[in-house]
Amino acid sequence: MYREKPFRIRPVEEVIEDLHMAREYFKYIDRVFLCDGDALCLPNDKLVYIIEKVFEILPEVSRVSMYGSPKDVLNKRDEELLELKKKGVEFIYIGAESGSDEVLKNIEKGATRQEIIEAVKKIEKSGIKASVTFISGLGGKKHWKEHAVETGTMISEMGASYVGVLTLLLEESAPMYKDVLDGSFQLLSPEEVVLESLLMMENINVPEDKPCVFRSNHASNYVTLRGDLPKDKGKFLKQLKKASENLNLLKDERFRAL
């Protein structure tokens, strides 16, 4: 979707107009998400000004969240992230996609495994919660084991407050769709996605003193997982093993969606 929408930094005045419009349309707003792809690329003084305006115009708001690329997180000084936290930022969302450097290279992520880990740790150090997303099936048949194992170990190491897992679902407009058509990328079957998820979960060892909320309940997923790690790891493993032995439990393809 973003390939058809050129990136630009909107004038601050436009953003403030949006906030006033939101006030006109809605009596109560609990949460504000600064869109679109990477609000964290803004200079900190502009971000702080916008956040202050959020609470001025919408005083009932309890939290502000935004997306942040690993590069832009790492470009922020520690004190800048601390300032954002003090101003009311509760979550920064990062699309990690995979813990495998090979897979990250193949999808042209623009960040390495280690850079993503460092970015997540930097967010958490500031007191802001990091919510990190991965994509099952992204390694295809060639790299599924590496994708599963290294994603699992990355989740264990990075210390995010929230982890979400989606499952690869390609639209015809996606660049990777051409790779599927020419055979250079082979999609996993539903059963293989479950086996990959099982291997990933086996390799997740989140420490007791830094638990994380784990969600695999997106519309694209074949199996829904909701809980906390490490507490619910055993439950998740049982669910995935049961699904791998009874494919009738998997979500029908007709009901999967982005």
Centre a 10 Å sphere on the Cβ of residue 186 and count the other Cβ atoms it contains. 13
99 touches 150 (CB < 8 A): yes
Neighbouring residues of 183: CB distance < 8 A, sequence distance ≥ 6: none
pLDDT per residue, tens digit, the chain (258 aa), is 455 666 667 889 999 999 999 999 999 999 999 987 788 999 999 999 999 999 999 999 999 999 999 999 999 999 999 999 999 999 999 999 999 999 999 999 999 999 999 999 999 999 999 999 999 999 999 999 999 999 999 999 999 999 999 999 998 888 899 999 999 999 999 999 999 999 999 999 999 999 999 999 999 999 999 999 999 999 999 999 999 999 888 988 888 886
53, 131, 150, 215, 224 from 91: Cα distances, Å: 18, 7, 24, 16, 23
- Residue 57's pLDDT is 97
Q: What is the pLDDT of residue 11?
A: 85
10-42 burial, b at 16+ Cβ within 10 Å, e below that, comes to eeeeebbeebeeeeeeeeebeebebeeebbbbb
- The domains of the chain are located at 99-244
Is CATH 1.20.120 the right assignment for the domain spanning 99-244? no
What does the pLDDT read at residue 1? 45
pLDDT of residue 6: 62
* pTM score of the predicted model: 0.92
Phi, psi of 63 (to 5 degrees): -160, 155
Characterise 156 by phi-psi region: left (phi > 0), alpha (psi -120 to 50), beta (else).
Answer: alpha
Provide the strand spans (E) within the chain.
Answer: 31-34, 63-67, 89-97, 129-136, 162-167, 212-216, 225-229
